[in-house]
Structure 1
Amino acid sequence: MGPETHWSDASGDLKQFGEGETRLSHRSYQLQILNSILSQYGFTASDWQGTSYLVSNGKGSTEIAPHVSAVWSVIDGMSKESFDPLNKNFLKKIISLNSKNENE
């Protein structure tokens, strides 16, 4: 029995990726984006066996998120504040980060 596939994860069908891309390169890209967001709040995420994510708070605590959407609830559990990825201020900050990255 392996882990349950989440809709946000690649299904393994390489046709959905661009030329030369693999599931691993797609996951690496996903982690890069995720970490650019999480770093704004003192958290990091890393790949765990290609199926889950390790979320760390920089204070010695690390928890497993089974898929990318579970990262937010893991952060809620590790943080003293509630974290809402759909919060308007949060989304403005992400848009600003994205604009800055595109201009570099």
Structure 2
Amino acid sequence: MAEGLAVVRKKAAARVPRGWESVRTLLSRQEGFTLIEMLAVILIIGILVAVATISVPRFLADASKSGLKQTIAAVQVAAERFYHNHAEKRYPVGKSFANEVALAIDVE
């Protein structure tokens, strides 16, 4: 009897055209994502958002400090240039220095 059942299955398989799937296979196929897969994706996105939330303000603060350091360096260069360009060899003070620094920073 087992041999007869095997023959019937072979004939049934031969009748289904190649590349076609049986109705049973189509109905049993799962489509979509499982709950575990969805939770894993949400967890990964949450971790990325947490890292970005912590890192971005620090990067902005570092950028601000870097900008201030560049401005201070430009003022220092302008003061040194003033010192070397004037015969009395003194550092500038007052409004004239502020004007020269503003010009030096704008030029650079």
| TM-score (norm. length: structure 1) | 0.25
Structure with the largest fraction of helix:
2
Structure with the largest fraction of strand:
1
Bigger radius of gyration, 1 or 2?
2
